[in-house]
Amino acid sequence: MKFIPHDYQKYAIDYLSKKEIAAIFLDMGLGKTIITLTAIFDLTLDSFQVRKVLVIAPLRVARDTWPLEIEKWDHLKGLKYKVAVGTEADRKTALMQKAQVYIINRENVDWLINKGGVPFDFDMVVIDELSSFKSHQAKRFKSLMKVRPKVKRIVGLTGTPASNGLLDLWAEFRLLDMGHRLGRFIGRYREDYFVPDKRNQQIIFSYKPRPGAEDAIYELISDITISMKGRDYLKLPDLVINEVSVKLSEDELKTIDEMKKELITTVKGEEITAANAAALSGKLLQMANGAVYDDNGEAMQIHDRKLDALEDLIESANGKPVLIAYWFKHDLARILRRFPAEKLDTTESIKKWNDGEIPVAAIHPASAGHGLNLQVGGSTLIWFGLTWSLELYQQTNARLWRQGQKDTVIIHHQIAKDTIDERVMKALKVKDNTQAALIDAVKADLNTRRAMDE
- The pair phi, psi for residue 120, each rounded to 5°, is -90, 90
74 shares a domain with 26:
yes
Single-letter code of the amino acid located at 447: N
The helix-helix angle for 139-147 and 168-177 (nearest 10°) equals 20
Same domain, yes or no, for 265 and 386? yes
Please tell me whether residues 67 and 37 are part of one structural domain: yes
Which residue from 376, 369, 370, 379 is spatially nearest to 354, judged by alpha carbons? 376
Asked, for residue 228, whether it belongs to a domain, the answer is yes
* Residue 122, in any domain of the structure: yes
Residues 204 and 246 in one domain: no
In contact, 70 and 79? CB cutoff 8 Å = yes
d(CA 108, CA 88): 10
Asked whether the beta carbons of 444 and 227 are under 8 A apart, the reply is: yes
Select from 440, 451, 31, 454 the least CA-distant residue to 214.
440
At residue 439, the pLDDT reads 64
Q: How far apart are the first and last CA of the chain?
A: 32
Q: What Rg do the C-alpha atoms of the chain give, in angstroms? A: 23
Tell whether 443 is covered by a domain. Answer: no
For residue 65, the model assigns a pLDDT of 83
In whole angstroms, give the CA distance from residue 115 to residue 127.
20
Same domain, 185 and 280: no
Q: Do 245 and 227 sit in the same domain of this protein? A: no
3-state secondary structure of 398: coil
Which among 148, 189, 149 is positioned nearest to 168, based on CA atoms? 189
Indicate if 18 and 162 belong to the same structural domain.
yes
Residues 295 and 174 in one domain: no
E strand or H helix that includes residue 204: strand 203-204
Tally of CB atoms within 10 A around 391: 25
The number of residues in the chain equals: 454
Q: Is residue 145 part of a domain?
A: yes
The verdict on residue 400 lying in a domain is: yes
In b/e form, how buried is each residue of 166-176, taking b as 16+ CB within 10 angstroms? bbbbbbbbbbb
- Same domain membership, residue 161 and residue 268: no
Q: pTM for this one?
A: 0.73
The DSSP symbol for 53 reads: E
- Residues 143 and 107 occupy one common structural domain: yes
Q: Residue 297: left (phi > 0), alpha (psi -120 to 50), or beta?
A: left
The Cα–Cα gap between 204 and 196 comes to 6
In a domain, 39, yes or no: yes
Q: Of 128, 109, 147, 107, whose CA–CA distance to 36 is shortest?
A: 128
Q: What SS3 class is residue 80?
A: coil
Secondary structure E strands in 220-308: 225-228, 239-246, 264-267, 270-273, 291-293, 299-301
The answer to whether residue 88 sits within a structural domain is yes
175: Cα within 13 Å, side-chain hemisphere: 28
Long-range contacts of 404-407 (CB under 8 A, 24+ apart): 404/373, 404/375, 404/376, 405/236, 405/237, 405/375, 405/379, 406/237, 406/379, 407/237, 407/379
Residue 453 lies in a domain: no
| Strand, coil or helix: 238 | coil
> CA torsion angle for 44, 439, 235, 239 (degrees, to 10)?
130
What's the CATH number where 393 sits?
Answer: 3.40.50.300
Please give the backbone phi and psi of residue 207, each rounded to the nearest 5 degrees, phi first. -125, 155
Nearest to 395 by CA among 27, 10, 132: 27
Q: Domain end: 219, 234, 249, which one?
A: 234
- Asked whether residue 329 falls in the same domain as residue 419, the answer is yes
For the chain, 454 residues long, give each residue's pLDDT as a single digit of tens.
Answer: 899 998 899 999 999 999 999 999 987 678 899 999 999 999 999 999 999 999 999 887 898 889 989 998 999 999 999 999 999 999 999 999 999 999 999 999 999 999 999 999 999 999 998 988 999 999 999 999 999 999 999 999 998 787 778 998 999 999 999 999 999 999 999 999 999 887 777 788 788 899 999 999 999 999 999 988 877 777 778 888 889 989 999 999 988 888 777 766 666 666 665 556 667 788 889 999 999 988 788 898 999 999 999 999 998 887 899 999 999 999 999 999 999 999 998 888 988 999 999 999 999 998 765 557 888 889 999 999 999 888 889 889 988 888 778 888 999 999 999 999 998 888 888 776 666 665 665 655 555 444 555 5
Same domain, residue pair 225 and 257:
no
At 260-318, the pLDDT tens digits run 777 666 666 666 655 566 677 888 899 999 999 887 888 989 999 999 999 999 988 87
Sign (positive or negative) of CA dihedral 201, 203, 207, 210 = positive
Tens of pLDDT, residue by residue over 371-428, are 578 888 899 999 999 998 888 898 899 888 887 788 889 999 999 999 999 988 888 8
Domain that holds residue 171: 7-234
Domain at 34, CATH number = 3.40.50.10810
Counted domains in the chain:
2
Q: What is the pLDDT of residue 437?
A: 61
Please choose, from the candidates 304, 293, 325, the residue with its C-alpha nearest in 3D space to the C-alpha of residue 424: 325
